[in-house]
């Protein structure tokens, strides 16, 4: 299966700082999503971004499919951004299988 | 509101008992999934279903069973054969897409199972 690696595994920020999270994947993909898992465990959809760049408020994401990576940018971080960020990829030859990275655990301190 | 509802949110069971976790969606999605998450870990696929009356094993199906009798429902049974059932269980769904696009995955709020 596809290998998905996320970095860094842990990140501690002071409120107001910016950060970049990275997701590398080992093969061509047709679907890439970023999720935020809140402290209660719920996975919140952030971006559906198989290629290109998208922005939503303080968050933005870029996927360079040809180079097999995606970046999630968080600007002016807030304590509510804390949690775990997951990257998941889907592939054309198995539309029903999504491969998840191990996540980046973000702790934003006030 | 459209969404995915999982119940119960918390469940405690004695070792050796089967338990069934409910997952209901009103998004009219064709595909549904069950994932398991252990503390500090990522998500692992247990079972998935593309259409009614069809389901496939994922990466860690041993000790679990599912059914898909209705489009909106995909219950998961954790059987006594599952050696380490204590975990966080997440249900997801997706609208099947034509062509190469695989469609966006949406998750329920999860069910936390503790086996005593």
By the 8 A CB rule, do A26 and A75 touch?
Answer: no
The dihedrals phi and psi of A39, each to the nearest 5 degrees, come to -60, -20
B33 contacts in A (CB within 8 Å)? 96, 98
Chain Cα centroid distance, residue A18: 15
Residue in A with minimal Cα distance to B30: A96
Torsion of CA B31, B113, A32, B30, to 10 degrees: 10
A92 contacts in B (CB within 8 Å)? 100, 102
Question: Quick one: pLDDT at residue B38?
Answer: 94
Written as one string, the DSSP assignment of A12-28 is: EEETT--EEEEEEESS-
Euclidean distance between CA atoms B8 and B22, whole angstroms:
7
Question: Quick one: pLDDT at residue A1?
Answer: 79
Share of chain B above pLDDT 70, in %: 92
**Tokens 């918390």 belong to residue:** B10
Euclidean distance between CA atoms B100 and B58, whole angstroms:
21
Beta-carbon count within 10 A of B40 CB: 10
SS3 call for A80? helix
Are A33 and B105 an interchain contact pair (Cβ–Cβ within 8 Å)?
A: yes
Question: Quick one: pLDDT at residue A93?
Answer: 66
B105-to-A13, A14, A21 alpha-carbon distances in Å = 29, 31, 20
Which of B3, B21, B43 should we substitute to test contact with A (largest number of A Cβ atoms within 10 Å)? B43
Euclidean distance between CA atoms A61 and B75, whole angstroms:
34
Nearest to A96 among B43, B48, B88 (CB): B48
Nearest to B104 among A41, A48, A101 (CB): A48
Q: What is the average pLDDT score of chain A?
A: 93
Asked whether the predicted pLDDT for residue B100 surpasses 80, the reply is no
By the 8 A CB rule, do A49 and A32 touch?
Answer: yes
Question: Quick one: pLDDT at residue B16?
Answer: 87
């Amino acid at each position: 299966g596809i290998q998905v690696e996320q970095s860094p595994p842990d990140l501690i920020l002071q409120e107001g700082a910016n950060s970049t999270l990275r997701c590398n994947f080992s093969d061509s993909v047709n679907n890439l999503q970023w999720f935020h898992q809140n402290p209660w465990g719920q996975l919140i959809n952030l971006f559906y971004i198989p290629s290109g760049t998208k922005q939503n408020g303080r968050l933005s994401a870029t996927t360079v499919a040809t180079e097999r990576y995606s970046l999630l940018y968080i600007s002016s971080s807030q304590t509510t951004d804390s949690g775990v960020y997951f990257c998941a990829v889907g592939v054309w030859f198995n539309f029903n299988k999504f491969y998840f990275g191990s996540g980046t655990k973000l702790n934003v301190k006030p | 509101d459209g969404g995915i509802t999982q119940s119960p949110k918390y469940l405690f069971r004695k070792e050796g008992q089967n338990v069934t976790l409910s997952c209901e969606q009103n998004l009219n999605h064709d595909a549904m999934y069950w994932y398991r998450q252990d503390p500090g870990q990522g998500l692992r696929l247990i079972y998935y279903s593309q259409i009614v009356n069809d389901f496939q094993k994922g990466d860690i199906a041993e000790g679990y069973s599912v059914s898909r009798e209705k489009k909106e429902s995909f219950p998961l049974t954790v059987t006594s054969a599952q050696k380490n059932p204590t975990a966080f269980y997440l249900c997801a769904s997706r609208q099947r897409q034509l062509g190469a696009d695989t469609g966006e995955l949406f998750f329920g709020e999860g069910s936390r199972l503790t086996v005593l």
